Amino acid sequence: MKTLIKVSGDLIANIEVIEKIKELAKSSQITLIHGAGTSISNALDKAGIPYEFKNGIRNTCDEGLKICLDESCKIRTTIEKMLEGYDVEIISPCINNDGKIINSNAEEIFRNIHEDFDEKIIFTISDREKPLIGRIKDIKIIKM
C-alpha cells in the first residue's frame, strides 16, 4: 500500500505524530510532505523581509526565498533524524529531491500527487482549515 502524508511544520516535533508515521511505515510505502509555513513567516518577519500570498503561494524576493529554503531544510533535517531507520520518502515544499529550489507549498504538492496513493492522511493543527486539500475524496484529516 502507498500512503501520502502531509504534516504541518508546526507538528514535526510532536512525538505522537512521528510515532504514528513510524507505525504506518511498517506496513505501507510512505511519502511525507511537510509544511514550514509558520517558521518561514517568523523567519521572514524577523529578517524584515516582506512577503505576500497569492493563490496560496508565498511571494517574496530572492533573499526571502533563501530564508524559505533554509527553514524548509531545517524541518526536513529534523524529520530525517526522527525517522532514521524508516523507509520514508520526504518531499520538502521549497526544494525538490534533486535539491533544486522550487516555489510551491505542501498543500499544492499534496493536491497534485494524491491520486497515485491508496491512503491519504493530513496531520494538522486543530484550528486550521485546508481549502486546497478539502476537496480531495477519501482523505483522513487528523487534527492535533
Rounded to 5 degrees, what are φ and ψ at 47? -85, -5
pLDDT at 104: 65
**Rounded distance between C-alpha atoms, residue 14 and residue 61, angstroms:** 31
pLDDT at 130: 59
| Full set of structural domains in the chain with CATH | 2-37+73-143 (3.40.50.80)
**Rounded distance between C-alpha atoms, residue 103 and residue 89, angstroms:** 20
pLDDT at 139: 84
Average pLDDT value for residue range 109-131: 81
The pLDDT tens digits for 20-45 are 999 999 999 999 999 888 899 999 99
Residues in the chain: 144
Does residue 12 have a pLDDT over 70?
yes
For 20-80, strand residue ranges (E) read: 29-34, 51-54, 57-60
